[in-house]
Chain A
Amino acid sequence: MKYIDEFQDPELAARLLDEIRATVTRPWALMEVCGGQTHSIIRHGLDQLLPDEIELIHGPGCPVCVTPLEVIDKALEIASRPDVIFCSFGDMLRVPGTGRDLFQVRGEGGDVRVVYSPLDALRIAEENPGREVVFFGIGFETTAPPNAMAVHQARARGIRNFSLLVSHVRVPPAIEAIMQSPQCRVQGFLAAGHVCSVMGTEEYPALAERFKVPIVVTGFEPLDILEGVRRTVRQLERGEHTVGNAYPRAVRPEGNPAARAMLDDVFEVTDRAWRGIGVILDSGWRLSERYRDHDAEHRFQVGDIATLEPAECRAGEVLQGLLKPHECEAFGTTCTPRTPLGATMVSSEGACAAYYLYRRLELPARAETTAPSLKESSVV
């Protein structure tokens, strides 16, 4: 596969950085919406290279981080049943629910399997007609279409022992919610390129106009992100607020019509709770009435599981740029990737986890070291 080195070229990056420096005349706060972008920014040290005037605020676009605690608890409940094969993408297995995670359910005898596609789960359902197979359908507009396709195929092929535990969320309502917050400091958005590759850009002009913010569709490689920053800053400096596309190799204005049609067929828009944020109206999808018999929440009667999330973590402030991850008193002490207090420390795409993993060198020495202490060895 090509196109990795090309988008990590140091010379091109230096050129883009020079251009950004030449453009900036005052401080700007930009939010990269997607956790994949946050991860890339911190991993490649882009925030260290950008001029001081540009502050990157890390958005809520990490699918693992924003899945509500009560949905994880529903997953744990379903996965614990002896008649169930519970299938999930790998990184959901480590996300803590109330007191347990899916790894632990597997350790207790639950049949929990990591798959790479919901269609793999569908195949498992076909191969195990005597058992219930449930796929954990979480994430943004990027992961929703294949999940919709799996349900659509299950219906078409009469695979009745397949169901989906759905907690899908949508980006535009989250941007709207962020911009409506009285504490909001965001002046421009780097929109999530992969989301737009599915949905296109039609939902964004109204947001850009309403909140007077530039929104630039941005990819994930270092040069993609720098180009997104360059275009956003250029608009801000000129007083513009339009929707730009800095990821044209993957994103067309209309997105992917086939994927959108599949979403329209299988899902319907609903209010969704976001872990660490709360309920945002119309911000997610659930299975539509026609496909309700493939809804694991109904099938296993876990709809009444409700979990109260104790207010122990300051992720909300982190997500709006009022607090950098390492400024939280719990960071690196009581809150680490191993013992996450909150959503932003749960997955490597969360802002706190990215800072913990990659930035402890520059941070106060509060963060605990995770390296095991190896004892002096000698010949006996």
Chain B
Amino acid sequence: MSDTTAAPDMLSWTCPAPLRDRPRVVMGHGGGGVMSAELVEQVFLPAFGQVAPGGLTDSAAVELGGARLAFSTDSFVVRPLFFPGGSIGDLAVNGTVNDLAMSGARAAYLSCGMILEEGVELATVGRVAEALGAAARTAGVRVVTGDTKVVEAGHGDGVYINTSGIGLIPPGVDLRPQRVVPGDVVVVSGAIGLHGVAILSERENLRFEVAIESDCAALGGLVEAMLAVTPDLHVLRDPTRGGLAASLNEIAAASGAGVVVQERAVPVPPPVASACAVLGLDPMYVANEGKLVAFVPRDQADAVLAAMRAHPLGAGAAIIGEAVADHPGMVVARTGLGGTRVVDMPLGEQLPRIC
């Protein structure tokens, strides 16, 4: 080490100018966070004009011919196509079925739009289709219409799928973040972070001591079991892109309530915690594909929790926090050691840290 280091004047330390607007789409626009929401709010909604109120939710509640329908669409561009615990075929069914379930609806019919890349093996397409069909049967939903397009080699990742779905919303069910009131109990249906870590470890060929499988599952049955206890659930969300943090922030922002989460009550399985620690990710922001988070009236919380735990997809359900009158629109975690921290809306995509 040099002994001739000039003493720096720390007051003169300077910083760079900021990066402001992006002229092009970047991956963060699809990350389910702030950038995704802004893209919809600033580009799509003004252009589309007349959209249903609540047009930023994953599933719209609409009335048609006297029936109350939930209507949802989702596109699936996952890589790899097959991963521990599922495949793009499973996701294509469960993703849309779960969006409908978050409106309280049991999915009835799906459409399936396949976008295939020139050169992909038909056997692969067949396996995807088989998985999709099996997932639909498990979820109790029928694929009734579809479309196929082929793009030139190099213009897709083998198979992209879009599914849309409709289902009936039962009478008396009104699931909206605006119904959340201070005192509501926050319940999550089980272990978080499994899907995101499973995909990442498969995609990047990261091998952990314990194999982590996606939690990909259809939640319609679990939601029915919860609604059977009380149709007065206030809001449900499936914390997919952006994870639990994004869902809680969306609900807090839309309801005007604050949310407090007890960090140690959040069910993070040890393999997920370890993988996230290695990669510098926060499990609260990691995607799930078979979990829901519910805001439940306090006097119904124990009964709803018991009903969830009696269902195979809710066996690991846990109360993780509550809605509060303080810090409106903000999610705050009480840390395991007794401190507090803000749990922010993710900006774009979580990025693995350097060290």
Contact = CB atoms under 8 A, between A and B. Distances in A.
Interface of A: 1, 4-5, 8, 10, 13, 36, 42-49, 63-64, 69, 89-94, 96-101, 103-104, 106-108, 114, 116, 138-140, 142-143, 172-173, 176-178, 180-184, 194, 203, 206, 222, 275-278, 280-282, 307, 309-313, 315-317, 319-320, 322, 334-335, 337-344, 347-349, 357-361, 369-380
Contacts of A181: 7-10
B129 interface: no
Contacts of B348: 94
Interface in B332-355: 332, 335-342, 344-345, 347-348, 351-355
Nearest to A103: B26
Contacts of A319: 10, 13
20 contacts: A10-B338, A49-B339, A92-B354, A143-B355, A176-B1, A181-B9, A182-B9, A277-B13, A319-B10, A340-B16, A358-B344, A361-B327, A361-B342, A371-B330, A374-B177, A374-B254, A379-B62, A379-B68, A380-B62, A380-B63
B1 A282 contact: yes
Nearest to A307: B16
B104 to A, nearest CB: 12
A370 B347 contact: yes
A196 to B, nearest CB: 13
A90 B353 contact: yes
B315 interface: no
Interface stretch (B53-61, B79-87, B184-192): B53-61
A10 B337 contact: yes
B61 A377 contact: yes
B274 interface: yes
Nearest to B64: A380
B178 interface: yes
Closest 5 A/B residue pairs (Cβ) = A45-B339, A377-B54, A316-B13, A342-B15, A372-B37
Interface in B14-52: 14-20, 22-28, 34, 37-38, 41, 52
Contacts of A99: 19
A42 B340 CA distance: 9
Given A44-B339, A373-B253, A310 B14 contact: yes
Contacts of B11: 183, 316-317, 322
Contacts of B353: 89-91, 347-349
Contact of B13 (A8, A276, A339, A349): A276
B270 A222 contact: no
Nearest to A315: B15
Contacts of B151: none
Nearest to B253: A371
A320 B9 CA distance: 11
Contact of B16 (A45, A338, A342, A370): A342
A320 B250 contact: no
B148 interface: no
B19 A278 contact: no
A277 B61 CA distance: 54
Interface string B184-213: 000000000000000000001010110000
B6 interface: yes
Contacts of B68: 379
A278 B8 contact: yes
Contacts of B253: 369, 371-374
Contacts of B8: 177, 180-181, 277-278, 280
B176 interface: yes
A116 B204 contact: yes
Given A44-B336, A370-B34, A377-B61, A337 B347 contact: yes
Contacts of A222: 337
Contact of A358 (B5, B277, B280, B342): B342
A46 B10 contact: no
Contacts of B278: 1
B270 A100 contact: no
A103 B63 contact: no
Point out which of B18, B252, B270 has the most chain A C-beta atoms below 10 A from its C-beta. B18
A356 B270 CA distance: 28
A170 to B, nearest CB: 8
A341 to B, nearest CB: 5
Contacts of B332: 361
B19 A339 contact: yes
Given A359-B341, A372-B250, A89 B354 contact: yes
B304 to A, nearest CB: 22
Given A43-B341, A377-B53, A1 B209 contact: yes
Contact of A315 (B13, B24, B37, B274): B13
A1 B270 CA distance: 7
B273 interface: yes
Given A44-B335, A103-B27, A104-B24, A64 B354 contact: yes
Point out which of B9, B16, B19 has the most chain A C-beta atoms below 10 A from its C-beta. B16
A316 B9 CA distance: 9
A202 B52 CA distance: 66
B339 A372 contact: no
